[in-house]
Homo-oligomer: A and B are copies of this chain.
């Protein structure tokens, strides 16, 4: 596996890079962004994975996320992958919430999606291996967070891999695909009609079924158009309360679903991860 450098720009004393490689998991080329802060030669830094939302690539958070100052301050590498396989040969859907840009961090089992839509394997296995081999990352100190569909990805991936991630947080996550139109459409399409199989892709169901995290940080805007129908933050709150799992869930007055919201709380989240990654 060889990694191609698409671009590297100096920023906040470190390097913001974009890289491309042929993915075994998805059978396509995949691009991702990595910010590596300034560090001593030979040092290994904690690494934080950021999973993006519907329609996004690696570029949205790289351009609008405002994470580099805080990552430089805390000495943390940030990795931002794409949200789905890409390419002319990859099956797609005409809507923004399924197909390209909408991988939902699952391994699809249904046709025609099963061949390429393997974002779970990509994020859980292939990408960490690539990061470990090509960047100064301390893989014993990993954290994960994300936005919306990527918040769903971060929560479910962390819940399914106990002990792997020292810290988990989300901005406006989809907390229960079993209970919202985005989730129903995506999981029916990628995983099929058997809703029992969806539970490993549903943060609330995973908690109900026994998965635990030491703690959790969520910020959710109260002016978010998707809150009521799709995000349903209260379901996560209830799931955590039901099993006494610690969770800091903050409802933020006036904030919407955009990067104007995410960037506002980005430094908070990175500080929260830093506390856990560097302890």
Q: Which positions in A face B, CB cutoff 8 Å? A: 9-13, 16, 63-64, 66, 68-69, 221, 223, 254-256, 258-261, 263-264, 267
Contact = CB atoms under 8 A, between A and B. Distances in A.
A64 B9 CA distance: 14
The 3 closest A-B pairs by CB, nearest first: A11-B260, A9-B260, A10-B254
A78 to B, nearest CB: 14
A10 B223 contact: yes
> Which of A258, A260, A263 has its CB near the most chain B CB atoms (within 10 A)?
A260
Nearest to A13: B264
Given A11-B264, A68-B264, 17 more contacts: A9-B258, A10-B223, A10-B254, A10-B255, A10-B256, A10-B260, A10-B264, A11-B255, A11-B260, A11-B261, A12-B263, A13-B264, A16-B260, A63-B63, A63-B64, A66-B66, A66-B69
A19 to B, nearest CB: 16
Interface residues of chain A: helix, strand, loop or mixed (majority): mixed
A251 B13 CA distance: 14
Contact of A10 (B9, B68, B261): B261
A12 to B, nearest CB: 5
Contacts of A223: 10
A262 to B, nearest CB: 10
Nearest to A67: B66
24 contacts: A9-B256, A9-B261, A10-B221, A10-B223, A10-B254, A10-B255, A10-B256, A10-B260, A10-B264, A11-B260, A11-B261, A11-B263, A11-B264, A12-B263, A12-B264, A13-B264, A16-B260, A63-B64, A63-B259, A64-B64, A66-B66, A66-B69, A68-B260, A69-B267
Contacts of A267: 69
Contacts of A261: 9-11
A220 to B, nearest CB: 13
A81 to B, nearest CB: 19
A68 B258 CA distance: 15
Nearest to A66: B66
A68 B263 contact: yes
Contacts of A66: 66, 69, 263
Contacts of A9: 256, 258, 260-261
